[in-house]
Amino acid sequence: MTGGAGYIGSHAAKALKRAGYRPIVYDSFVAGHRAAVKFGELVEGEITDVEALRRALREHDIGSVMHFAAFLDVGESVAHPVKYYRNNVGGALTVLEAMVAEAVPHFVFSSTCATYGEPVETPIVETHPQRPMNSYGESKLAVERALPHFETAHGIHSTTLRYFNAAGADPDGDLGEDHSPEIHVIPRAIEAATGGRGLQVFGDDYPTPDGTCLRDYVHVTDLADAHVRALEVIVDTRKSGVYNLVERVCGRRVPWTLAPRRKGDPAVLYASPHKAQAELRWTPRFPDLDAIVGTAWRWHQAHPHGYGDR
């Protein structure tokens, strides 16, 4: 699990361990947290280091790779595209190169709704045109587009999971969200609601019911479960596939101030989860905003400084 010390990877490690797998976390701690590596052995390393990756694959007798490691700040990607292409495209290609060399046949890829860009049709289905509006989305799409070539040339089967906005925290309180700086709206809203930095809403003149951007969310524990399903399906069927991972939730009031639109933000990202639910037999357990915010709220109350290491 590259990036297994991060927010989503750490929750997926817990789900995999519970399902009887032997997760091995491969992370450089450029983000992520040592205290989040609770459910698998740790290998510290860079995804741009092919020799270190090959050693890790060999020494731990790896059967499948889940590739979470990436940079993910849309705003930063607009300002610093090279950072995003180097880590997200270069890093992913290096992981695939190591897999080819060590004959590891299964790849589960963390992609994103940012590959769609401005929707031409909602709900967004997996065949919707992909026209990213920022280099973060472009970097993920570049990897998506490379994957069929690795299948043809090297027999690497892949499952691409396009996450919508991940939110919430482990319901047992073992893990939570701690990005630095925090860019995601639910932890930012919790911070605002508990007297910390104010929440900014980027633009109120979008063509949406209240003028603000419209987004879909998915509970991080449901995302984690989807990775277990994706692994089971790819190992069983050896067929590649692409899935939206999203749930339906609705808004709630938090104190906020208005800020200008951000570059690279589509107005509406509203997706269909049906393919993932049917083909991965994935049923989200936390499909409403109360559960998402509730688990995040409890984790942030118990960990006001996150993992406390930054």
Residues 35-54 that bind ligand NAD (CB under 6 A): 46-48
Q: What are 271's strand-pairing partners?
A: 124
Q: Is 136 part of the annotated catalytic residue set?
A: yes
Among 72, 96, 189, 291, binds ligand NAD (CB under 6 A): 72
Q: Decide: 157 and 103 in contact? Cβ < 8 Å.
A: no
Q: Which of 69, 142, 231, 242 binds ligand NAD (CB under 6 A)?
A: 69
Work out which of 1, 13, 24, 32 binds ligand NAD, going by CB under 6 A.
32
Instruction: Out of 1, 6, 21, 98, point to the residue binding ligand NAD (CB under 6 A).
Output: 6
Check binding of 73 to ligand NAD (CB under 6 A). no
Q: Is 9 in the site for ligand NAD (CB under 6 A)?
A: yes
- From residue 35, alpha-carbon distances to 8, 78, 87, 181 in Å are 14, 31, 23, 18
Give the DSSP H/E element, type plus range, for residue 94: helix 91-102
- If you count them, how many residues does the chain have? 310
Q: Return the half-sphere exposure (C-beta side, CA atoms, 13 A cut-off) of residue 254.
A: 21
**Residue placing its CB nearer to ligand NAD in the complex, 136 or 297:** 136
The least CB distance from residue 159 to ligand NAD, in Å, is: 14
Q: Strands, DSSP E only, in 70-212?
A: 106-112, 157-163, 165-167, 199-202
Place of tokens 């860019």: 183
Candidate list 21, 26, 116, 136, residue with the active-site label: 136
Smallest gap, in angstroms, from Cβ of residue 249 to ligand NAD?
13
- Looking at residue 210, the DSSP 8-state letter turns out to be T
State which residue, 74 or 234, has the beta carbon closest to ligand NAD: 74
Rounded to the nearest whole angstrom, what is the least distance from the CB of residue 153 to ligand NAD in the complex?
24
Per-position x/- string for 166-195, each x denoting binding to ligand NAD as judged by CB under 6 A, each - no binding:
x------------x----------------
Q: How far is the CB of 134 from ligand NAD (least distance, A)?
A: 12
- What residues are paired with 26 via a beta bridge? 2, 43
- Give how many residues touch ligand NAD by CB under 6 A: 28
**Residues in contact with 215: Cβ distance below 8 Å, sequence separation at least 6, in sequence order:** 164, 165, 185, 269, 270
SS3 content of the chain, % helix, strand, coil (to 5): 40, 15, 45
Alpha carbon distance 193, 219 (integer Å)? 20
What residues are labeled active site? 136
Residues making contact with ligand NAD (CB under 6 A):
2-3, 5-9, 27-32, 46-48, 68-70, 72, 87, 91, 110, 112, 163, 165-166, 179
